[in-house]
Amino acid sequence: MTNLPLTRDQALELLKSMPQLPSDMNHYLESEAIMKALAEKLGEDVEYWGMLGLLHDVDWSLTREDWTEHCVKCVEMLKEKGFDDEFIENVQSHAYGYDEIPVFKDKERSKRIQHALIASETLTGIIYAYALMRGKNISTMALKGIKKKFKDKAFAQNCNRDLVREIEKAGLEVGEFLELSMNAIKEIKGEIGLE
């Protein structure tokens, strides 16, 4: 059941009220699109999963230079907007395990939605980089191509493949996840500067 204090438009307003890089904004929208498609596929709450994708990096513009506060600063911001502890914990879960963020270093994701979020937000980087390599074209991108790029560790090497593989803990095969995500991003190509 959806229990969200902001509409999608209000969430977008919140993001736009901070100094965002275009590439960051694209990343939020891509994460949202994949999370919504995943929720639909897995029979979960599409609106809630989408909101989590959209806002998972809500404090990124304020923490970009100093990672130690990433997903820490967000608590106050989200509370002020009326989000509950569960939503905030789900947001924070995508920072679990990072050495750079001491409070999350030893934490582990436990919920399906948390595995889905980390997998989704990590995969956006691979798909976008591949589209850029193809002259911004995503319309004719094929599953075979994205699978190849996924296996090629030298490609978009900042995108940790193990984190993408966490999708299996959410109950989906990686191949299926790559296809679903690529298609979800094709749907919003116009909003993120792709063709």
Check binding of 166 to Fe ion (CB under 5 A): no
Question: What distance, in Å, lies between the first and last C-alpha atoms of the chain?
Answer: 35
Q: How far is the CB of 86 from Fe ion (least distance, A)?
A: 19
Question: Which C-beta is closer to Fe ion: that of 103 or that of 137?
Answer: 103
Closest contact distance (angstroms) between CB of 31 and Fe ion is 6
Q: Which is nearer to Fe ion, 32 or 57 (CB)?
A: 57
Contact 11, 51 (CB under 8 A): yes
Give 99 or 135: the residue with its C-beta nearer to Fe ion: 99
Size of interface with Fe ion, in residues (CB under 5 A) = 2
- Where in 106-125 is the site for Fe ion (CB under 5 A)? 121
Nearer to Fe ion, 24 or 47 (CB): 24
57 binds Fe ion (CB under 5 A): yes
Q: How many helices (H) and strands (E) does the chain have?
A: 10, 0
Residue nearest Fe ion, Cβ-based: 121
DSSP 18: S
Q: Select the span of 14-22, 50-58, 158-166, 186-194 touching Fe ion (CB under 5 A).
A: 50-58
CB of 124 to Fe ion, least distance (A): 8
Q: Which residues contact 174 (CB under 8 A, 6 or more apart)?
A: 150, 164, 165, 167, 168
Q: Which residue type does 100 have?
A: E
Give the Cα separation of 70 and 10 in Å (integer): 22
Specify the residue, 59 or 121, whose C-beta has the smaller distance to Fe ion. 121
Q: Provide the b/e sequence for 9-31 (b: ≥16 CB within 10 Å).
A: eebbebbeeeebeeebbbbbbbb
Do the Cβ atoms of 35 and 29 come closer than 8 Å?
no
Q: What angle do CA 173, 176, 177 make, to 5 degrees?
A: 85
Write down the least CB distance from residue 56 to Fe ion, Å. 6
Of 1-9, 49-57, 65-73, 84-92: span binding Fe ion (CB under 5 A) = 49-57
Nearer of residues 57 and 166 to Fe ion, judged by Cβ: 57
Residues that bind Fe ion in the complex, under the rule CB under 5 A: 57, 121
